[in-house]
Amino acid sequence: MAPSLCRTLVFGLCAIHTAFAQSYTEKYRPQYHFTPKDNWMNDPNGLIYYNGVYHMFYQYNPGGNTWGAMSWGHATSRDMTHWKHQPVALQARGFPNNITEMFFSGTVVADEKNTSGFGSRKKAPLVAMYTSYYPMAQNLPSGKSVQKDQQAQSIAYSLDEGMTWTTYDAANPVILDPPSQYADQVKEFRDPSVFWHDATNKWVAVISLAKLHKLLVYTSSDLKTWKHESEFGPVNAVDGVWECPSFFPLAVDGNKRNVKWVAQIGLNPGGPPGTIGSGTQYVVGSFDGKKFTADANNVYPAPTTPKDSVIFQDFEKAGTFTDLGWNATGDFVGAGPANGPINGQQTVTGFSGERFVNTFLNGDATTGVLTSPSFKVTQKYINFLIGGGYNPGKTCVNLKVDGKVVRTATGTNNEKLSWTGWDVSAFQGLNAVIEIVDSLTGGWGHVNVDEISFSNTLAETQKANWMDYGPDFYAALSFNGLPSEDRIDIAWMNNWQYGQAIPTSPWRSAMSVPRTLSLKTINRKTTLVQEPIDNLKSLEKSRKYSRSWNSVQQGDQELDLSGKAMDITLTFSDRSPASGKSPQFGLVLRASADSKQQTRVGYDFTTKQLFVDRSASGEVGFDSTFPAVFYAPLSPGNDGTVTIRILVDWSSVEVFGGKGETSLTAQIFPSDDAVRARIFSTDGNTRNVKISASQIGSAWN
């Protein structure tokens, strides 16, 4: 390789840190989650453990605290708890005024056999593979040409264990275009994940065709020349785009003779049900070095109307809502179901038949309430199709029993109608009505509804295996360089829906806690389990809190427990809901003295779900979708015990349920004085309650 065609990056002027002391005590600054010292951060990149050091590279803007000038930031650690900021590893070419190439997401491997030829027998190179994004058409030093906004795959190498990097300009990009049949996707071809496959003695790269929901598999002997082998997808959740994919093996139940592979896939938007924006799904299957094959029970059909459904209202009859037996107020007086799929410039999809409720009558200025005829709840579920705006309480469908809203649902800022359903078993035998509410006059201020039915089967949105059911877990990546049994993931703890507006300064975004991954058989299915690595003990403060109750009475109780950063484990017995009741149990955390600020973490005994309610968690007004309640499925253990572990930091909660088969991650932005904690039990008492907690200190000190 001619030296004139290589570019050795110069770092002295690009250091993340400066000479003055940094306290890391700014408002909302996480104390044990990684954050950059300043500026914008998103996806973790190039996670690798090498020679006793954990390296975290990440998408970074060296010029500001919103997305832009994508470069690779860098930090190192000996324990994944205490991180040291390093100089920028790969800085956008031409930064700041004439950027010709940005460095998008990718991975780093240790080329121990020096297959690339970048190192020697005595010094193994680290090799990074990343997506080059070209904001302008240009001819490259390699002689290759790229078009405006092209995404292609390039490599760089380091001969000093990741501290400085040289881009392989003699041949970059090493994968210039996607396969010819996907030539039109050249601007949506990104995020390579590279690993060594022992059985075939080859390097493997997994790359996303983002808009087509396909993962392309490539192989190489030297990290320079790549062959396209196969593709995987689309399957399961396919709203938005697929990004940041990876494949990795895990033993099932610790049995090394039974190894399965996991495909980990970022999705934006179209995250878990009840969230808006980003999410991460996984698929369990097999991989032979060239092709990933999903297990049959990991591919789910598109949702349909349950076979045992009894239609309550399908809105197919011509006439007004009053003609259909519904009470109409506001702009809905004299109006009827829509007979056409157009909302302004957007097409509504997913409705059943020819007509449906569309409150976009006079644009988003339309307001009013539609109330159904009264009915007796006779079956376990009420199912319906819903779309439109995500505005809890303002554009929504409600179930009311005795005049009280007991269930509610809203759209996802999407004109597509999707299935949702309520577990109403606690209200069987009671009279109820359904409300369709539109009280918003702008900003996705409408709701679309169709085919309301009663069933003993729950109709769901497109089913997927979700890594995390919260809104703030995206672009997850695991460390190369660790044994398979020590597979450790880190994710971007933010969401593209509002990530650039969160109220932090001078930095934006944090990473999740590192999580150990394993596969366990739960309810006869191979399930991905996540557990926080045991890295917080060194940060625990001396005073620990522990208490138990034979029974916690209905209501709230103040706890002699407070703090902005805590590690809490809560266990309690499952209980059966009484008729007409919907009992819950859990903790109120980061609460102010007047309770106007609080985050509720708990368990719903009727639906068997964990939940995090951040609707009053502090500063929530920067995005209309931020104040919300998020749910995650969790069955009690075989002994009827529910176990919840909660990691609280200055601006986040991460909740792990059961053995770790369920997790839910959410950012919060409470006031500094919102430190109180309470325990609550609704609609009855909760038995056999135990709580243990530790306050967590700063990893920066």
Instruction: Select from 557, 565, 552, 563 the least CA-distant residue to 678.
Output: 557
pLDDT attached to residue 267: 97
Which residue, 408, 425, 455, sits at the end of a domain?
455
Between CA 283 and CA 277 the distance in angstroms is: 20
The first and second tokens of residue 584, run together, are 């819950």
pLDDT attached to residue 356: 95
What's the number of domains the chain is made of?
3
Q: Bin 229: left if φ > 0, else alpha if -120 < ψ < 50, else beta.
A: alpha
Between CA 109 and CA 114 the distance in angstroms is: 11
Peptide bond into 269 cis (omega under 30): yes
> 461 lies in a domain?
no
Catalytic site includes residue 423: no
Cβ atoms 186, 147 nearer than 8 A: yes
Between CA 330 and CA 593 the distance in angstroms is: 40
Cβ atoms 606, 427 nearer than 8 A: no
Query: Which structural domain range is residue 10 located in?
Result: 3-302+467-517
Question: Which CATH number goes with the domain that contains 653?
Answer: 2.60.120.560
> 460 lies in a domain?
no
Do 447 and 500 reside in the same domain of the chain?
Answer: no
Which of the residues 38, 43, 314, 649 is marked catalytic?
43
Residues of the chain with pLDDT under 70: 1-21, 344-345
Cβ atoms 673, 592 nearer than 8 A: yes
Q: How far is CA 89 from the centre of its chain?
A: 26
pLDDT attached to residue 347: 86
Of the chain, the end-to-end C-alpha distance in Å amounts to 45
pLDDT attached to residue 21: 52
Which residue, 407, 424, 455, sits at the end of a domain?
455
At 115, is the secondary structure helix, strand, or coil?
coil
pLDDT attached to residue 443: 84
Between CA 554 and CA 572 the distance in angstroms is: 14
Question: Which CATH number goes with the domain that contains 152?
Answer: 2.115.10.20
Q: Quickly list DSSP for 607-666.
A: TTEEEEEEEESS--TTSTTSS-EEEEE----TTSEEEEEEEEETTEEEEEETTTTEEEEE
> 526 lies in a domain?
no
Instruction: Compute the half-sphere exposure of residue 416: CA atoms within 13 Å on the CB side of its CA.
Output: 9
Do 352 and 257 reside in the same domain of the chain?
Answer: no
> 549 lies in a domain?
yes
Do 386 and 435 reside in the same domain of the chain?
Answer: yes
Do 352 and 476 reside in the same domain of the chain?
Answer: no
Location of structure tokens 């092209």: 150
Do 37 and 146 reside in the same domain of the chain?
Answer: yes
Do 191 and 279 reside in the same domain of the chain?
Answer: yes
Instruction: Select from 540, 589, 534, 545 the least CA-distant residue to 697.
Output: 540
Do 264 and 342 reside in the same domain of the chain?
Answer: no
> 212 lies in a domain?
yes
Do 16 and 150 reside in the same domain of the chain?
Answer: yes
Q: What is the DSSP letter of 349?
A: B
- pLDDT by residue (tens digit) across 34-58? 999 999 999 999 999 999 999 999 9
> 701 lies in a domain?
no
pLDDT attached to residue 345: 63
Do 401 and 253 reside in the same domain of the chain?
Answer: no
Between CA 339 and CA 328 the distance in angstroms is: 18
Which residue, 427, 455, 483, sits at the end of a domain?
455
- Which helix (H) or strand (E) segment holds residue 405: the answer is strand 404-410
Cα 685 to Cα 550, 577, 682, distances in angstroms? 10, 11, 7
Cβ atoms 483, 396 nearer than 8 A: no
Q: Bin 142: left if φ > 0, else alpha if -120 < ψ < 50, else beta.
A: alpha
* E-only strand ranges, 111-201: 126-134, 138-139, 145-146, 150-158, 166-167, 189-197
Question: Which CATH number goes with the domain that contains 400?
Answer: 2.60.120.200
Cβ atoms 691, 569 nearer than 8 A: yes
> 524 lies in a domain?
no
- pLDDT by residue (tens digit) across 503-525? 999 999 999 999 999 999 999 99
Do 73 and 157 reside in the same domain of the chain?
Answer: yes
Cβ atoms 697, 31 nearer than 8 A: yes
Do 318 and 295 reside in the same domain of the chain?
Answer: no
> 121 lies in a domain?
yes
Do 73 and 148 reside in the same domain of the chain?
Answer: yes
